[in-house]
Each structure stands twice: as C-alpha cells, then as structure tokens.
C-alpha cells in the first residue's frame, strides 16, 4: 500500500515483540514509540507522508501529498517538538495533474529542500523541488532529462549537508528502460549529473541519498537486467563523479535498497528488502559501508512476520541508527516496523498501529540518539487513508 497516491517504484532471525490478541505489534511502556497527530490540509480527501528530516530536536519537516477536488497536491508539515502543523506549499500542476513531494532535507532550522515529481496525462513526468526559507515554501527550477523518448523524470530523495550544497536522486524513463537520475543544487541552480547504470542493467533507479559532506554522497536503489531478480544498487559521489559500488545480496533471488544514512564518510547504513524464494517471502535488509566495502547485517523481523521491508533509516551517530518500514503479520495485515541498531546488532522496536486496516512507515529522521520522528500512512475502512506520524523519545 506504500505510495498509494503516486507510485514510485542471509535469512533474517525472528525476535520476540509485544503482540496483541489480533497479532499486531503494539507499543508498550518503555518501548518509546508513540503516535503523534498529523493533521490533514483543509478539504483533503486522503493524505500521506513519505519523507521527513530534522535540523534538531523539536524541528522536523515531513513531506508527502494529499488528494482534493480530483487532484493530487504537495504536502508539508512541521514538527515543533509537540505537534505537527500543515504548511502551505505550492503545487505547480493543477488537476488532473499530480504534484507530490517524496524526500526532504533540512540543513538548518530555517532551511529545507524537498523533492518529488509532477505528472499529467498530457506531458512527461518532470522533477520537482521546493525550498522552505523558514517562513514560506517556494518552487525551484529543476533539471530534467530530455529527448523524444523520455517519458518520465522523478526525484525520490535529497540530502543537503549545507544550504548551498544539495544532491537529489531518482530516475527517468527513456523508451521502456529506466535509468538513475541525480542532480546538484549549488545554492543558485539545479544541474544534472552523469550517473552510470550497472553493466547490463535494463532498469536502474535511485531511491535515497545521504551526503556526509558536500563532496561525499552515497545513493542507493535497485537495478534489474530485465530477465532476473532485482539487485541492490549503491553509487558513490566523490565530489567529481559518481561510481558504482559492489553491493552484496543475501540470496541469489536479489533485493533492493530504499534508504541510506551516513553519519560519516566511512560510516553508512542502507536498508531495504531481500527475497528468499525458497520460503516465498521477503525480509528486511540492512547493509553497512565502512569506507571500503558493503557488508550485510543481520536484520530481525517480528515473530511470525512475513514480507518485511525497511524503507528509511537515520543514523545520528556511528553506533546509533533507527530504521522504519512495514511487515505483514500471520493474518496478512500490514503493520508498522521499527528497528534500532546500537553499533553491534539490530533489534525490533514495538510500534503503534492506529489504522483499522493497515499502517506503514515510509521514512524516519533522528536528530539525536534518543529522539526520532517517523512518518507514513494509516489506512482505514472504505479506502480512506491519512498521514501517520510516530515519535521515539520524550
């Protein structure tokens, strides 16, 4: 159900978690995660949050989209440490077009950059970027791949180590092939960067990026040769060029990476999902970059979980990370998933599930080792869904 308004694109050990009579993982005393109210814009029929960033404890911005009057529009909400509030955002496209925000980065208390895409039935999909200056959001002019066969450009993730140094990643489509997309903000304009696809790849896309400095970024995603399984993809920016990094896959059936966070140039964690065809299931995937190579980490699932997926991760320190996503329980109900890494091992953290039908977490941001905000979507009966916010810490 993740991305309901706008489609983006080692076996795990089981651990015990607190489970209710219905089989859902519940937040318990001492678990730390609790639901926070995420208001919907006036007139919204449905809404979702897909990205979040924090410049400090009590200063976070979440982005996504909402549907109203037949159109889909950009959404931004601000967390002040106590509550979320909706911020007015420009939506460049009018119905029946769609304008969405997918990722956000906030290098300072009064500075955020959010990215996403615009699409309509009459024109190719275009990238979208918006800037918050501490007072208001405004649209930025972005770069797009062009050509008669290019049918789609979209940005899914962004990282800004400074207000004048941002890198955004996503994908574009040419003909029936998909290619990775990256562009750079220098404080004045967005420009395209050359990004290679893995040799033989038919489709390649980047879902997230983390920049520890202006000249050191890691981006992750997925590639496929068109005949086999998806494979995890990682690329590195050294200030001059992007290069593909070898990334291990736990099984021959492959997997994908959806989120990445770098606490330093030589300390990154990427998360996603891998396939175990023998058991006909998917499991949460976590990998670590030590500055020289990627290695797989054991990533647990709640007891009885099936098809677990980690969609976002945040590492405020080299030995502290939190990841968020979703899984399906024994009754095939989709539930929120959170995991914490203490520098040695990952452990499942019980999380609340306020939706009557399903709940998912799409992104997480941790301004400190003891404070995090996660966002996603809660699904109710009759096809209704709305933004979901959860917090870790006081």
Q: Are strands 242-245 and 255-264 parallel, antiparallel or unpaired?
A: unpaired
Q: Write out pLDDT tens, residues 116-160.
A: 999 987 777 999 999 999 999 999 999 999 988 998 999 999 999
Higher-pLDDT residue of 35 and 28 is 35
Higher-pLDDT residue of 252 and 356 is 356
Q: Is the pLDDT confidence value at 162 over 70?
A: yes
Nearest alpha carbon to residue 107 among 64, 63, 57, 164: 164
> Mean pLDDT in the chain?
90
**Banded pLDDT at 394 (limits 50, 70, 90):** low
- Could you tell me if 292 and 282 are in contact, meaning their C-beta atoms sit under 8 angstroms apart? no
- Could you tell me if 100 and 65 are in contact, meaning their C-beta atoms sit under 8 angstroms apart? yes
- Could you tell me if 306 and 337 are in contact, meaning their C-beta atoms sit under 8 angstroms apart? no
Q: Where are the domains of the chain?
A: 14-392
**Banded pLDDT at 19 (limits 50, 70, 90):** very low
| Separation between Cα atoms, residue 274 and residue 310, nearest integer Å | 10
- Assign domain 14-392 to a CATH class: mainly beta
Q: Is the pLDDT confidence value at 357 over 80?
A: yes
**Banded pLDDT at 25 (limits 50, 70, 90):** very low
166 CB-near residues (< 8 Å, 6+ apart): 105, 113, 158, 159, 160, 184, 185
- Could you tell me if 105 and 113 are in contact, meaning their C-beta atoms sit under 8 angstroms apart? yes
Q: Write out pLDDT tens, residues 255-268.
A: 999 999 999 999 99
**What pLDDT is attached to residue 82?**
93
Q: Is the pLDDT confidence value at 201 over 90?
A: yes
Q: Is the pLDDT confidence value at 1 over 80?
A: no
Q: Write out pLDDT tens, residues 70-115.
A: 789 999 999 999 999 999 999 886 667 899 999 999 999 999 999 9
| Separation between Cα atoms, residue 220 and residue 218, nearest integer Å | 7
**What pLDDT is attached to residue 280?**
73
**What pLDDT is attached to residue 148?**
86
């Amino acid at each position: 159900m993740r991305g309901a308004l706008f489609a983006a694109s080692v076996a795990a050990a089981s651990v015990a978690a607190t489970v209710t009579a219905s089989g859902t993982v519940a937040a318990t005393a001492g678990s730390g995660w609790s639901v926070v109210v995420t208001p919907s814009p006036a007139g919204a029929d449905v809404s979702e949050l897909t990205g979040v960033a924090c410049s400090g404890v009590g200063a976070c911005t979440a982005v996504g989209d909402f549907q109203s009057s037949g159109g889909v529009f950009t959404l931004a909400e601000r967390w002040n440490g106590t509550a979320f509030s909706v911020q007015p955002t420009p939506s460049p496209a009018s119905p029946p077009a769609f304008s969405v925000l997918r990722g956000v980065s906030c290098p300072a208390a009064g500075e955020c950059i959010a990215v996403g895409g615009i699409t309509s039935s009459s024109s190719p999909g275009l990238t979208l970027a918006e800037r918050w200056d501490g007072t208001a959001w405004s649209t930025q002019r972005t770069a797009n791949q062009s050509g008669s066969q290019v049918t789609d450009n979209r940005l899914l993730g962004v990282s800004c180590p400074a207000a004048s140094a941002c890198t955004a990643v996503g994908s574009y489509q040419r003909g029936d092939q998909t290619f990775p997309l990256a562009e750079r903000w220098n404080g004045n304009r967005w420009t395209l960067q050359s990004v290679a696809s893995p040799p033989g790849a038919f489709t390649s896309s980047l879902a997230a990026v983390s920049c520890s400095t202006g000249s050191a970024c890691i981006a992750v995603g997925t590639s496929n040769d068109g005949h086999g399984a998806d494979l995890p993809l990682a690329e590195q920016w050294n200030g001059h060029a992007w290069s593909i990094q070898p990334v291990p896959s736990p099984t021959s059936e492959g997997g994908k990476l959806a989120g990445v966070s770098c606490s330093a140039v030589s300390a990154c964690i990427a998360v996603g999902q891998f396939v175990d065809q023998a058991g006909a299931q998917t499991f949460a995937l976590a990998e670590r970059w030590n500055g020289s190579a990627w290695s797989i980490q054991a990533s647990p699932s709640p007891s009885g979980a099936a098809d677990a997926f980690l969609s976002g991760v945040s590492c405020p320190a080299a030995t502290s990370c939190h990841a968020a996503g979703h899984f399906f329980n024994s009754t095939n109900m989709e539930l929120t998933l959170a995991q914490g890494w203490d520098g040695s091992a990952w452990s499942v953290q019980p999380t609340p599930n306020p939706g009557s039908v399903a709940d998912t977490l799409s992104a997480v941001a941790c301004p400190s080792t003891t404070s995090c905000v996660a966002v996603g979507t809660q699904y109710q009966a009759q096809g209704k869904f709305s933004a979901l916010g959860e917090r870790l810490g006081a």
